[in-house]
Amino acid sequence: MTRVGVLDSSNLTGGQRLAVKYFTVALVLFGAQILFGLLAGLQYLKPDFLYGVLDFNVNRMVHINAMVVWMLYGFLGSVYWLMEDEAQHPVVGLKLGEIAFWVLTLAVTVVVLVYLFVQYGPGDIKTIWFINEGREYIEAPRWADIGIVVVVLVFYFNVLATFIKGRFTGIGGVIVLDLFALAGLYLAGMFFTPNISIDQYWWWWVIHLWVEATWEVLVGAIMAWGLMKTLGVSRRIVQTWLYIEVALMFGSGILGLGHHYFWIGTPDYWFEIGGFFSALEPIPLVAMVVHSLYDAGKHHMKSSNHPALAWLIAHAFGNFLGAGVWGFMHTLPQINLYTHGTQWTPSHGHLAFFGAYATINIAFFYLAAQQWRGNVYMGAGIAGAWRWKWALTLLSVGVLGMTMALLIAGYEQSFIERAINGSTWAGYFEAQNHPWFQQAMWWRQIFGWVTAAGYLLLVWDLLAIGAGETRTATRVGHESEEAEAGAEAAPATA
């Protein structure tokens, strides 16, 4: 029996219960990301802070690794969340999926503890296997890499088998093919070579083809399902858009990889290929904004879950602004020559990861919170609605503020270090010591604290939203189902 307004696991299906576990760890890691980001940010301002105890490289590594891992946990959770509904079949191999979750979480805990307490090792291959691989974003030691692959294979089996046993929708098909590519690409990061040009060539296969291709397509599919659920948009419309986005995303993103091959020793034909295709990368992101706003407007913003819809809209804008605009600003080689390896990159990185990925994961946290309390009402006029609105505002303002501050620091660095001083170490420090750079870093820190406040409010709200509410969620979807039936019948009668 459904208990509305009460946090009760019997309100969830098997897949949803597993999804909630993934979401919980994701939320904890989101907190770790912010905490270690604050520590690393403070070290720019107070270099002696934690010197020799938790140095910048450790804090920064935990900051970016927590980010990558919480995004992945969010994605895995989101797929488990929507899979049964989409396939119309219970998760196949759920028990195995549960074991995989605990194995992965244990492995992540061990990796983080080793990062924090062992930190580094001698210059031999054992360090790469057991302590730290020392390659940005994929620092996890090799044993953990193998563990991750095994866990992802279990997850992949769950997904594939569930869709096969149930039904294969367009969204299901895109998810299955995309996850195959996503998992396969991880293998490109699992080898050692002394040749740094070859190392970075393949490293970018993992990093770029994840965040600028397969992750984007995955969130496109998740977004499609989210719009059907929150607004009741017709399947035909979201799936057609999804295919358009896949074509545009992979059509620009796969060869857009070339914008990372300007300066790592690779041939200069990548200037043209990388410049051209990466300049096209914002187009699918514009399409996503148009798509989601059109759908929301068409349905008069009448949604079953206001916070989730607000975060989905934040995702559409954030993805376009952070990944699209901020990426485009420095993607052409003529500009990138001066901006590569400066604070421009973290400016882009902060807004892109938040805008494209944090937002949509948070939207799914709200879908989960709603269902967990018995598909509780989350429309207009809920008690304590200020919390989710302020959490959204503080997180967005915080990240945008950090982005702007880092952009100013990046401009200053590009001019003083690169253009004027020719990138020598003296030039680097002249730029770092400049009052404009220092001011920008203070503002980054202040907006980091704003982000942290937003995070705390978000956690509070996710725990409290819907408590004591007796109404059930607004039902959406009637009109769209009728329209869909009409549209599908149309070609036959035309």
Q: Check residue 474 for interaction with another protein (CB under 8 A).
A: no
Pick one of 340, 348, 350, 444: the residue that binds another protein (CB under 8 A): 340
Query: What is the DSSP-derived secondary structure letter of residue 187?
Result: G
**In the complex, what is the shortest distance from the CB of residue 36 to another protein, in angstroms, rounded to a whole number?**
11
Pick out residues in 151-170 that bind another protein (CB under 8 A): 170
- Under the criterion CB under 8 A, does residue 422 sit at the interface with another protein? yes
Residue 61 is a binding residue for another protein (CB under 8 A): yes
DSSP 90: P
Which of 8, 85, 98, 430 is the binder for another protein (CB under 8 A)?
Answer: 430
Dihedral sign, CA of 137, 405, 281, 220?
positive
By the rule CB under 8 A, 1 interacts with another protein = no
- Distance of alpha carbon 74 from alpha carbon 160, whole angstroms: 19
By CB under 8 A, tell whether 57 contacts another protein. yes
Among 187, 380, 463, 489, binds another protein (CB under 8 A): 489
CB of 237 to another protein, least distance (A): 9
Crossing angle of helices 56-87/142-165, nearest 10°? 10
Tokens of 29: 């890691």
**Of the candidate residues 142, 236, 298, 389, the single one contacting another protein (CB under 8 A):** 236
CB 281 → another protein: shortest distance, Å? 12
Q: Which lies closer to another protein via its Cβ, residue 266 or residue 445?
A: 266
Residue with tokens 């989710």: 388
Rounded Cα gap, residues 154 and 172, in angstroms:
17
Stretch that binds another protein, among 12-20, 126-134, 350-358, 377-385 (CB under 8 A): 126-134
String marking each residue 79-118 x if it binds another protein according to CB under 8 A? ----------------------------------------
Residues binding another protein: what is the number (CB under 8 A)?
A: 93
Q: Which stretch binds another protein (CB under 8 A): 2-10, 89-97, 186-194, 288-296?
A: 186-194
Q: In the bound complex, what is the minimum distance in angstroms from residue 251's beta carbon to another protein?
A: 4
Out of 117, 195, 435, 475, which residue is the one contacting another protein (CB under 8 A)? 195
Q: Per 3-state DSSP, what percentage of the chain is helix, strand, and coil (rounded to 5)? A: 80, 0, 20
Contact by Cβ (8 Å): 97, 80: yes
Interface with another protein includes 244 (CB under 8 A)?
A: yes
Contact status: 35 vs another protein (CB under 8 A): no
CA angle 250, 251, 255 (to 5 degrees): 90
Q: Are 379 and 457 in contact (CB under 8 A)?
A: no
Part in contact with another protein (CB under 8 A); list of ranges 6-14, 41-49, 92-100, 382-390: 41-49
Distances (CA, A) of 71 to 161, 247, 322, 432: 24, 23, 16, 31
C-beta of residue 288 within 8 angstroms of C-beta of residue 316: yes
Q: Is 124 a binder of another protein (CB under 8 A)?
A: yes
Nearest CA to 11 out of 379, 464, 376 is that of 376
Cα separation, 450 vs 462, whole angstroms: 18
3-class state of residue 266 by DSSP: coil
Residue 92 token pair: 């196949």
Taking CB under 8 A as the binding criterion, the range among 21-29, 188-196, 223-231, 471-479 that sits at the site for another protein is 188-196
Instruction: State which of residues 17, 21, 348, 418 lies at the interface with another protein (CB under 8 A).
Output: 418
Task: Please report whether residue 490 would count as binding another protein according to CB under 8 A.
Answer: yes
* 411 touching another protein, by CB under 8 A: no
Q: Report residue 157 CA to chain centroid gap.
A: 23
Of 102, 120, 168, 386, the one binding another protein by CB under 8 A: 120
Selected binder of another protein within 22, 23, 44, 326 (CB under 8 A): 44
- Told to check if 262 binds another protein by CB under 8 A, we report yes
Q: Any residues with CB less than 8 A from the CB of 290 and at least 6 apart, and which?
A: none
Show contacts with another protein in window 361-380 (CB under 8 A): none
Any contact of residue 48 with another protein (CB under 8 A)? yes
Amino acid at 32: A
Give the whole-angstrom CA distance, residue 447 versus residue 93: 44
